[in-house]
Amino acid sequence: MQFFQERRVKKESMGLLQNYEWRAGMNYTLIVLVIYAAVMLLATVLMTKKEKNIERFCVGDRNTGWIVSALSIAATWIWAPALFTSTENAYTKGFAGLFWFLVPNVLCLILFIPFAKKIREEIPEGITLSGYMYGKYRSKAVRNIYLFQLGTLSALSTGVQLLAGSKILSVLTGMPFMLMTVVMAVIAFSYSQFSGIRASILTDAVQMMFMLGASIGFAVFGIKYGKGMETLLAGLGGASGDSGVLFSKRGIEIFLGFGLPATVGLISGPFGDQCFWQRAFCVQKNKIGRAFLVGAFLFSLVPLSMGIIGFVGAGIGYEAADISILNFELIRILFPKWAVIPFLFMVVSGLLSTIDSNLCAVSSLTTDIFRECSLRKTKLVMVLLLAVGIIIANIPGLTVTHLFLMYGTLRASTLLPTVLTLRGAELKPVGIVMGIITALVIGLPVFAYGNIQGIAIYKTMGSILTVVLSGAISIILSKRRCEA
């Protein structure tokens, strides 16, 4: 309690956020947004040219350097959960919670490397995963089920980024939440539509360099302002103090309730996300492995740093007003007032880097949707994605963590059919389609029920069923067709 007395910090119901100096907060926030939009748009206009060719709009010249690609991969993988869920898990679930969030997040990008190399070898002129699957099986049904999964994921991902970012922007400015979702969407579209993937990769690299500096700085000075390493170590057990050991009773509960379903969803992540297949087609062919490996390492530094902030919060005994934006609250009480500015810039960078990647991903999917694709149609689909994302973000009661686990399970539905195909398995179109449909119809609702009700066993069962059913049914039906 001494810590709070020194800083006059008390939680009076939900008054923490309401007592913020609104006028200063609004000014700082609007200035940050204007500067951010200007920097990204200016960088795009000066360092890329307006693209008029649909293929180059989607994959550039297929020879992007591995350093800028690694920065882009890392920035694209920094979804809202990397910035917010990492802090929340460290605070509520201690070391065990952060471990089961961080390790699978890094491991998935490394496991993706051989498959990224494989698809580039098989179709060096490819653009999309759905296009690759269509080329393999010559089945519109296979292509369409992949388009559904990849497109839905892009919409949910865009929605969760808008939800997380707009919540903070709304708090800081006092402006309506819905207006903030529109503002974020407009900023992302403004530079993405100029040169497509080139703009996305370039701005990702700029955003990632800033996120690295800001997040590491927050972690280092968070420990300092939070009374040192002693406080950090005290917080490893989380707010409850019993979550510091992976294989304790509490640690096992965290693994079953969060770790296992999160791992299934995260390991599936790049495999079910067009953003990463698109980058596999963009980077220099002989540097794919290096780009993804370095990208995984760079990514890890951001959620690790945000997790340290969560440990510090638990160590000082802080009581959160809104657990979903805990790092924002802690930075406001631990740091000088001006620290909100780099934090806000970091958050906007992290969330918009994923939104602009989603825009480029869905633009590439239009090459499979339309027989005669054009840049006009591509950009209209980008606008449609943003509209759907805004609607999702404004659904009452949705949280970042719930959506994170939900779309993680959605990605898992195509994991095994994709991996088996790239490994040379002889599957049949009907097996792939029925496997994915079964996984979505059975596995996803089971997981959703467990997620909404907070029942660990259902979340775990739903995640495993989604992965296993799609692969098992694909194999079983394919064998039956061969025998027939």
Query: DSSP readout, 221-289?
Result: HHHHHTTSHHHHHHGGGTTTT--S-TTSHHHHHHIIIIIHHHHHHHHHTGGG-HHHHHHHHHB-GGGHH
pLDDT at 426: 86
Nearest to residue 75, comparing CAs of 298, 236, 286?
298
**CATH H-level, domain 2-395: superfamily:** Sodium/glucose cotransporter (1.20.1730.10)
* HSE, side-chain direction, 13 A CA sphere, residue 472: 8
Phi, psi at 163, each rounded to 5°: -60, -50
451, two tokens: 């997620």
Position 449 scores a pLDDT of 82
Nearest-angstrom CA–CA distance, 275 and 127? 11
What is the pLDDT, as a whole number, of residue 8? 41
CA distances from 425 to 27, 135, 420 (A): 58, 15, 5
CB atoms within 10 A of CB 360: 31
pTM (2 decimals)?
0.88
Residue boundaries of the structural domains of the chain: 2-395, 413-484
* DSSP 8-state secondary structure symbol assigned to residue 64: B
Model pLDDT, residue 401? 63
Q: Which residues pair with 283 in a beta bridge?
A: 64
Q: pLDDT under 70 in the chain at which residues? A: 1-27, 80-81, 400-402, 404-405, 481-484
